[in-house]
């Protein structure tokens, strides 16, 4: 399909989700294509956090744990997130980081495997999984006497066997945007007697997820991408009810105690998802995440996740087609799947030379994507605030950067700490 600027403007004018853009702070002259790494600031967040600082903390002081509902935030915000991932109330908790939550749930999964099927000693995952997931799994496997086996994506299904204890996968791959069939792979893992642990960092709030329908065992994800909770905002953990009370998670802090304010010296785990808490919660960050969720919740009357998904696919289709029309001959190759059922909400391009520098040149022009080693230019297409004209402009800048060779300038080839 051939796209023109006029066509893109017409699609924006007809977009029922277009009003959601006004809920965000979007700097003038910037096309933001990195919401899959850090969502932009929703306009309502600053006032909500200021109220928590000035009134709840400033005036309420410690009383606000009760009077402002601080104590209930992890479970209340967790339930809000749960509504976007197919969780029932009381199954999700907002807390800690994705890495810490993965440590908790994977440790619980290994404990279940060790008790129920002690001969199973293998955790299967993809070699291309997000590194923190692999690091956490490697450390736990070494500590618990398990083996972490890393495979290419196409090898996963055939590798499930009688020695598999846990299948640990990220639903949408961070480098490629490729999406797994969660229900099918979970069912296959269960057929082989294994548990399924899912990382939803690049899918929660972006693609339809139904953990209960998929019969998953454990899941984790973050709050600062598609939920717009701010840099380093609390993550979340979900545990299927059949597992929630079987084992205590290893970080048995006082917030996961059945009665934290009894202050007893012995640990007695809380029932249900509350046992996946640990220590005192970061209230200001939790408040920001709570307010950030208002922005995505505003999409519910407009069709919710199904409407977001339709627009996401239309945006990524448009991006792919424009790159192929306008940037041909520049050595770019598409690594994101074309098939809708296999695609998340991002477009990833590979280039053998200069991928990092090209991204830096685009950022200097106000087109903010990111780079993933060794050769990936990554562009997130978040439908809450991105429009089709934004996509057209982004690809036009990419064409100019490539045609002019400006990416070769020295300032674009100096590595930053964060890419």
Say how many C-beta atoms besides its own lie within 10 A of residue 400's C-beta. Answer: 15
| The token pair that represents 384 in the structure block | 């809450």
User: Which among 24, 32, 103, 130 is annotated as catalytic?
Assistant: 130
Q: Could you confirm whether 210 is annotated as catalytic?
A: no
Q: Could you confirm whether 9 is annotated as catalytic?
A: no
Q: Could you confirm whether 199 is annotated as catalytic?
A: yes
User: Which among 12, 79, 199, 390 is annotated as catalytic?
Assistant: 199
User: Which parts of 204-254 are beta strand (E)?
Assistant: 218-221, 235-239
Please give the Cα distance from 368 to 29 (Å, whole number): 11
Beta strand 346-350 with 333-334 is antiparallel
Element (H, E) at 170: strand 164-170
Q: Kindly state the DSSP code that residue 126 receives in the 8-state scheme.
A: E
User: Which among 34, 79, 378, 385 is annotated as catalytic?
Assistant: 378
Please give the Cα distance from 132 to 138 (Å, whole number): 10
The edge-to-edge listing of strands for the beta sheet with 346-350 is 333-334, 346-350, 376-380, 370-372
User: Which among 225, 248, 365, 372 is annotated as catalytic?
Assistant: 225
Q: Who contacts 101 (Cβ-Cβ below 8 Å, separation ≥6)?
A: 95, 220, 235, 236, 237, 276
Q: Could you confirm whether 130 is annotated as catalytic?
A: yes
User: Which among 146, 224, 371, 412 is annotated as catalytic?
Assistant: 224
Distance of CA 293 to the CA centre of its chain: 14
| Catalytic center residues | 130, 199, 224-225, 378
């Amino acid at each position: 399909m051939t796209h023109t600027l006029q066509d893109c403007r017409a699609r924006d004018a007809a977009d029922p989700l277009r009003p959601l853009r006004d809920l965000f702070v979007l700097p003038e002259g910037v096309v933001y294509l990195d919401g899959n790494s850090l969502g932009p600031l929703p306009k309502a967040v600053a006032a909500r956090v200021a109220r928590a600082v000035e009134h709840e903390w400033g005036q309420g002081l410690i009383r606000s744990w009760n009077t402002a509902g601080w104590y209930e935030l992890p479970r209340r915000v967790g339930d809000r997130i749960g509504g976007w991932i197919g969780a029932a109330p009381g199954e999700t908790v907002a807390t800690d980081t994705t890495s810490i939550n993965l440590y908790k749930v994977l440790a619980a999964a290994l404990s279940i495997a060790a008790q129920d099927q002690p001969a199973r000693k293998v955790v299967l995952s993809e070699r291309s999984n997000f590194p923190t997931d692999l690091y956490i799994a490697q450390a736990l496997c070494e500590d618990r006497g398990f083996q972490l086996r890393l495979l290419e994506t196409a090898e996963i299904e055939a590798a499930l066997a009688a020695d598999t204890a846990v299948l640990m996968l990220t639903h949408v791959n961070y480098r490629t945007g490729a999406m797994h069939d969660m229900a099918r792979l979970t069912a296959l893992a269960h057929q082989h007697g294994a548990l399924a642990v899912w990382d939803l960092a690049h899918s929660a709030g972006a693609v339809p997820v139904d953990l209960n329908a998929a019969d998953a065992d454990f899941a984790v994800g973050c709050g600062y991408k598609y939920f717009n909770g701010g840099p380093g905002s609390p993550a979340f953990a979900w545990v299927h009810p059949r597992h929630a009370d079987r084992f205590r998670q290893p970080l048995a802090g006082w917030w996961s105690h059945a009665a934290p304010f009894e202050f007893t010296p012995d640990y007695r785990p809380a029932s249900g998802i509350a046992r996946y808490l640990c220590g005192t919660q970061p209230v200001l960050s939790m408040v920001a995440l709570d307010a950030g969720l208002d922005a995505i919740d505003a999409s519910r009357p407009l069709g919710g996740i199904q409407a977001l998904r339709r627009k996401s696919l239309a945006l990524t289709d448009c991006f792919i087609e424009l790159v192929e029309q306008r940037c041909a001959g520049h050595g770019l190759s598409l690594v994101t799947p074309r098939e809708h059922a296999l695609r998340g909400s991002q477009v990833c391009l590979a280039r053998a030379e200069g991928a990092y520098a090209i991204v830096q040149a685009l950022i200097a022009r106000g087109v903010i994507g990111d780079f993933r080693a060794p050769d990936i230019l990554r562009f997130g297409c978040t439908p809450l605030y991105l429009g089709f004209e934004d996509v057209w402009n982004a690809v036009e800048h990419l064409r100019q950067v490539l045609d002019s060779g400006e990416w070769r300038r020295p300032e674009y080839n100096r590595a930053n700490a964060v890419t």
